[in-house]
């Protein structure tokens, strides 16, 4: 069963291109695929391999750089018949998660709530729980009584705060996201806006699902992930959702029964969001991929599904 590791680290990276070369070489050496984003503010990665041992060996080698020792790694798995990533992509970006403002690694990060303490913490009537993820993520899973940011992109989070939150009434906030990285940036922004009690779920949803027993688990639904598994269940195994190749939103089996669902072209959510020319392009891409599959090859268009959708966000 393929293993997947997700991690990030905010740290000053004065030489992102040199680090890109180093990490790319290490990944190739250990036979890894996935996405690594590098920026002056740090790195953000999701990597997969046929064995967990290969990933662990990579983490050890990466840790020889003191900046990346003791990473908080989140582990999950995939079905044996599923390709989590088609290839390795190690890219330099302005940010490791798109927010429109650079994170300051030298600034204090928010206080963490351990997964084991999260249930009691969010049960308090004084706590406002905020799901910092995008709308298409929150639609398939979440914690009870959480307020979803309902963003299309994480860049929209400041608008949500301005519209929905007030430091005088929402005095104690509890943030959560997939793996923790978006909460780091959200914390800095919220404290700049005058919120002085901002907490975050340590390690995000993935860490909560790994650490909290099923009997005590308050998570409902599945957790969207930025790879070809689409979503994970409460046991961190590949979930039941597929993905619309036009807009990247998760789609269920019932969604596929919609008259607006055409494989590779549209779903009920994006049917009115793309032009006729775009749909023609999707049809041609699907035709080329079908020909490639019949020849036993993988068409280059298939490699671009994760990055070519209408609703893009950095992997977490």
Q: Which active-site residues does the annotation give? A: 177
Closest CA to 248 of 311, 302, 315: 311
- N-to-C CA span, the chain: 22
Burial 127-137 (b: 16+ CB within 10 A, else e): bbbbbbbbbbb
Give the integer Cα–Cα distance in Å for 62 and 26: 8
Indicate the length of the chain as a whole number. 316
- In angstroms, the CA 203 to CA 72 distance is 7
To the nearest 10°, report the CA torsion of 198, 201, 203, 208: 180
With residue 22 as reference, give the H or E element that holds it. Answer: helix 16-30
Tokens of 153: 């992109």
Q: What residues form DSSP beta bridges with 43? A: 9, 38
């Amino acid at each position: 069963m393929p293993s997947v590791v997700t991690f990030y680290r905010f740290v000053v990276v004065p030489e992102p291109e040199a680090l890109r070369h180093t990490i790319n070489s290490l990944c190739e050496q250990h036979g890894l695929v996935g996405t690594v984003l590098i920026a002056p503010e740090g790195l953000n990665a999701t990597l997969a391999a046929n064995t967990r041992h290969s990933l662990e060996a990579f983490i050890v080698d990466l840790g020889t750089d003191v900046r990346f020792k003791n990473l908080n790694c989140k582990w999950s798995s995939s079905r044996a018949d599923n390709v989590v990533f088609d290839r390795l992509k190690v890219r330099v970006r302005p940010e490791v998660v798109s927010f429109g403002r650079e994170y300051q690694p030298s600034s204090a990060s928010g206080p963490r709530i351990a997964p084991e303490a999260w249930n009691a913490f969010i049960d308090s009537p004084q706590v406002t729980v905020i799901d910092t993820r995008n709308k298409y993520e929150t639609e398939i899973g979440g914690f009870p009584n959480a307020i979803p940011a309902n963003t299309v992109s994480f860049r929209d989070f400041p608008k949500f705060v301005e519209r929905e939150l007030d430091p005088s009434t929402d005095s104690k906030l509890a943030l959560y996201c997939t793996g923790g990285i978006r909460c780091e940036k959200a914390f800095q922004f919220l404290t700049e806006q005058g919120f002085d009690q901002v907490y975050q779920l340590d390690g995000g949803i993935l860490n909560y699902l790994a650490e909290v027993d099923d009997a005590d688990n308050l998570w409902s639904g599945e957790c969207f992930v930025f790879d070809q598994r689409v979503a994970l269940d409460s046991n961190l195994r590949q979930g039941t959702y597929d993905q619309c190749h036009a807009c990247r939103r998760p789609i269920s089996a019932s969604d596929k029964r919609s008259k607006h669902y055409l494989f590779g072209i549209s779903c009920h959510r994006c049917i009115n969001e793309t032009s006729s020319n775009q749909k023609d392009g999707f049809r041609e891409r699907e035709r080329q991929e079908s020909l490639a599959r019949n020849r036993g090859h993988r068409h280059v268009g298939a490699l671009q599904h994760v990055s070519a959708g209408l609703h893009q966000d950095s992997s977490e």
